[in-house]
Chain A
Amino acid sequence: MALLQISEPGQTAAPHQHKLAAGIDLGTTNSLVATVRSGLAETLPDEHGKHLLPSVVRYRLGLPPVVGEAAKAALTEDPHNTISSVKRFMGRGLADICKGCSCAEYEFAESDSSVPRIRTVAGDISPVEASAEILKALKARAETTLGGELTGVVITVPAYFDDAQRQATKDAAQLAGLNVLRLLNEPTAAAVAYGLDRESEGVHVVYDLGGGTFDISILRLNRGVFEVMSTAGNTALGGDDFDRVIAQWLAEQAGLGEEISVRKMRALRAEACRAKEALSDVESVDVSVAIKDGEVWRGELNREQLNVLIDPLIQKTLSPCRRALRDAGVALEEIEDVVMVGGSTRMPRVRELVGEFFDCEVLTDIDPDKVVAVGAAIQADVLVGNKPDDEMLLLDVIPLSLGIETMGGLVEKVIPRNATIPCAKAQDFTTFKDGQTALAVHVVQGERELVSDCRSLARFELRGIPPMAAGAARIRVTFQVDADGLLSVTAREQASGVESSVQVKPSYGLSDREIEQMLRDSMAHAEEDVAARSLREMQVEAKRAIEAVESALAVDADLLSEEERAQLDAAVVALRAEAEGDDHVKIKQAIEALNAASDDFAARRMDAGIKAAMAGHKLEEFT
């Protein structure tokens, strides 16, 4: 007889209890958090009623960092300790940052880590840490508003973010103590927010020009399934660049020389941004620049002049559009409409040129600043299980090809761009010398033929290959890209069956050790006990594992024999007992035991689900 389950009061969630989930748009300029309440997805305001949180972090000596409006206000006055547009630095090396000409604004610390660190009064800060501060602020806002801990979040990233940039985003979430359900591509989130699936089948384009990044995605919609056909973009092109060219023009007009201080440059940018935004509503705007000793230059910027300045930048967004169209194999006539996303699409000139290019209607009904967060909230609500009957499914793609370095510094493509994720590819390698026991593999991402023109993702070494004659070993390396677009690598020597150890050294990412250190540091500040946090996290994990098995049992218990059921129940009981204790290692072991006990059950459930889905077709074929 199966064990009768009696849960402790308040311990087990009722099957359809609403779980708290949120969507987070971690933007270059502004960030937002949104959630679904009473069936409605909406962004959450702070205590002053403001929805947008400026993505600015100010570090202070001996005090916790400040995030948002207060930090933004200090941008000009305390430029070196106030970090803005940190998204541009995520997953990037110092050389990339300097190429983007924004390194002059900050002082970067010398370090042997591949991750650049900005020198502030509060110490050297990595972009991941600064992003984590923004995420923490949004987490606190959501939890205060919703009155409870978040079960999970969906964080959006530019579709064109590469592996290093995605990993950095996930690391930041981990530092902020968030459970990431999914990294979602921003254009896909926008398509979800527009509810395009319900109204219109067919091909749609999402044009997303934000503060620092540009994405274009082409989607086919079919009864709740959002199938991304292709994506393209530029992760270093956005409203910031518009501000920069306007600021340069202002500097020229005002007769400022080549040497402009960081402080003055920040002031110029702020004035440029103000003028740009104003010109979305009016034809011309007065501008002024402080020159020196209280002397002020005054002038005027009109739309015509603005267009001359920004047209080249808008043109730069159109070649990715062409490529995405070609990769999707879609003709212009097939496109129903273009969804406009990102604050920069407020500019009339952007709307005009994009509408001309795609020759169709441009959709702007939802606030372009909020649309991504709203879409992420809808997806989070589905993923967390609040809508068990929802038909929505997002099928996204990997934006850039993955490859490995071969002889002569050439790239061999392993997974092509725009492959639907999750995806995997196995590649066989062999040894080059007799008795060789190790092999180095260099993974890169990009479309170019030369390794030096692609982005280096990681280098790893396969060790422990049994000594054999040259060319005799068969090492199968499997590249797996998960639903977040993140790569993992496993390797196995085929002849001997030896599982080679893979040591991945991210080229521009933080190592696990560095992340752990950051966690420790942040806790030291918060005076939180490291051990207590580990225990609490493991208990949450245990609760999650038990809930997952119980909800599976509630639906498919009939797939198990009585004996199997008893084993599974016993593993649940054992885990529940360990979770009461205070040994996080034992809890972890009990979770692993429960996972092992539910392996077969998982496979059977999956088979049953597939059979049910395909049942109709089988009949029609065999009768």
Chain B
Amino acid sequence: MQATDLTSSYFELFGLPVCFDIDTRALAERYRELQRVVHPDRFATAADAERRLSMQLATRVNEGFRTLKDPLARARYLLELKGVALDDADTRLDGGFLMQQMELRERMDAVKGSADAGQRLHELHGDIRQLERQLVDELATLFADGSPQALRQARDASRKLQFFHRLGEELAQLDDELAGS
């Protein structure tokens, strides 16, 4: 494998097996090892050709690390590698999940203006983290299975994870607003 080949997968780049359940410690270690070699700081006085290449590679190593370390990004990337279409416009999900989302959103709306906003926010955050962890475990099982049906289910699970991700972002914004007031 040529590391300068920009078409290789991130798994190859980091020398990791192509799977969802990766060794995050090894990932972080290899990330640092790769950056030690390719980072622009290593080429501050090098020729232009090397400086350009270094920036491209360091960018790719950063992008690869960002993708592989985050379960949602990793799941989406794996699905893409396995040729499972991720149509973001298609948002059909089971009714039970949508009900759960609505409940969580109602709880979020109720945080604002309540006397114990900080405490409520903290609890909501904890609950969301818990639900996210369940989805990540589910994804690990589905990717390990690897059958076409399991991959389709993995796609749905990653969509659900995306919902939680957005919820998490909104929660963070709410936290900022509360701190600002």
> What residues of chain A have their CB less than 8 Å away from a CB belonging to chain B?
151-152, 181-182, 222-223, 225, 227, 319, 322-323, 326, 379, 382-385, 391, 393-395, 419-424, 480, 482-483, 544-545, 547-549, 552, 591, 594-596, 598-599, 601-603, 605-607, 609-614, 617-618, 621
Contact = CB atoms under 8 A, between A and B. Distances in A.
Nearest to A420: B62
B115 to A, nearest CB: 21
A595 B62 contact: no
Interface in B41-87: 41, 44-50, 53-55, 57-59, 62-63, 65-66
B146 interface: no
B40 A393 contact: no
B33 A614 contact: yes
A319 B47 contact: no
Interface stretch (B89-97, B99-107, B150-158, B171-179): B171-179
Contacts of B48: 545, 591, 595
Contact of A614 (B15, B39, B53): B15
B120 interface: no
Contacts of B17: 621
Nearest to A598: B49
Contacts of B19: none
A225 B55 contact: no
Contacts of B149: none
A404 B2 CA distance: 34
Contacts of A152: 44-45
B180 A319 contact: yes
A603 B47 CA distance: 12
CB-based closest 8 A-B pairs: A383-B44, A610-B3, A548-B47, A483-B40, A602-B50, A602-B49, A609-B37, A595-B48
Interface residues of B, number: 39
Given A225-B35, A326-B172, A326-B175, A603 B41 contact: no
A617 B49 CA distance: 29
B128 interface: no
Nearest to A548: B47
Q: Name the residue in A227, A595, A606 with the highest tally of chain B Cβ atoms < 10 Å from its Cβ.
A: A606
B122 interface: no
Contact of A420 (B57, B65, B180): B65
A422 B2 contact: no
B105 to A, nearest CB: 18
Contacts of A383: 41, 44-45
B148 to A, nearest CB: 28
Q: Name the residue in A323, A391, A598, A602 with the highest tally of chain B Cβ atoms < 10 Å from its Cβ.
A: A602
A117 B22 CA distance: 55
A393 B65 contact: no
A327 to B, nearest CB: 8
Interface of B is mostly: helix
A530 B180 CA distance: 53
B57 to A, nearest CB: 6
Contacts, number: 129
Nearest to B62: A420
A614 B58 contact: no
B63 to A, nearest CB: 7
Contacts of A391: 36
Contact of A393 (B35, B44, B49): B35
B55 A422 contact: yes
Contact of B59 (A424, A552, A606): A424
B111 interface: no
B107 to A, nearest CB: 19
Nearest to A600: B49
A36 B36 CA distance: 22
B4 A603 contact: yes
A142 B175 CA distance: 47
Nearest to B46: A548
Given A606-B57, A614-B30, A548 B41 contact: no
B45 A613 contact: no
A594 B36 contact: no
Given A319-B180, A322-B179, A621-B15, A384 B63 contact: no
A579 to B, nearest CB: 15
A362 B40 CA distance: 32
B33 A613 contact: yes
Contact of B45 (A319, A548, A598): A548
B34 interface: yes
B38 interface: yes
Given A222-B32, A421-B62, A482-B55, A599 B49 contact: yes
A418 to B, nearest CB: 10
Contact of B41 (A394, A424, A618): A394
A612 B38 CA distance: 12
B38 A610 contact: yes
29 contacts: A182-B41, A223-B32, A225-B36, A326-B175, A382-B41, A383-B41, A384-B44, A393-B39, A394-B41, A395-B39, A420-B65, A421-B62, A424-B63, A480-B55, A480-B59, A482-B55, A483-B39, A595-B48, A596-B49, A598-B50, A602-B53, A603-B4, A606-B38, A606-B50, A610-B34, A613-B34, A614-B30, A621-B15, A621-B17
A483 B55 CA distance: 8
A554 to B, nearest CB: 13
Given A225-B36, A424-B59, A483-B55, A552 B41 contact: no
Given A423-B63, A552-B47, A393 B38 contact: no
Given A152-B44, A609-B37, 10 more contacts: A326-B175, A385-B44, A393-B32, A422-B62, A480-B59, A548-B50, A606-B54, A610-B34, A613-B37, A614-B15
Nearest to B36: A393
Contacts of B179: 319, 322-323
Contact of B40 (A151, A222, A422, A594): A422
Contacts of A424: 59, 63
B181 to A, nearest CB: 10
A422 B49 contact: no
Nearest to B53: A602
Contacts of B41: 182, 379, 382-383, 393-394, 483
B152 to A, nearest CB: 27
A605 B40 CA distance: 14
Contacts of B34: 610, 613-614
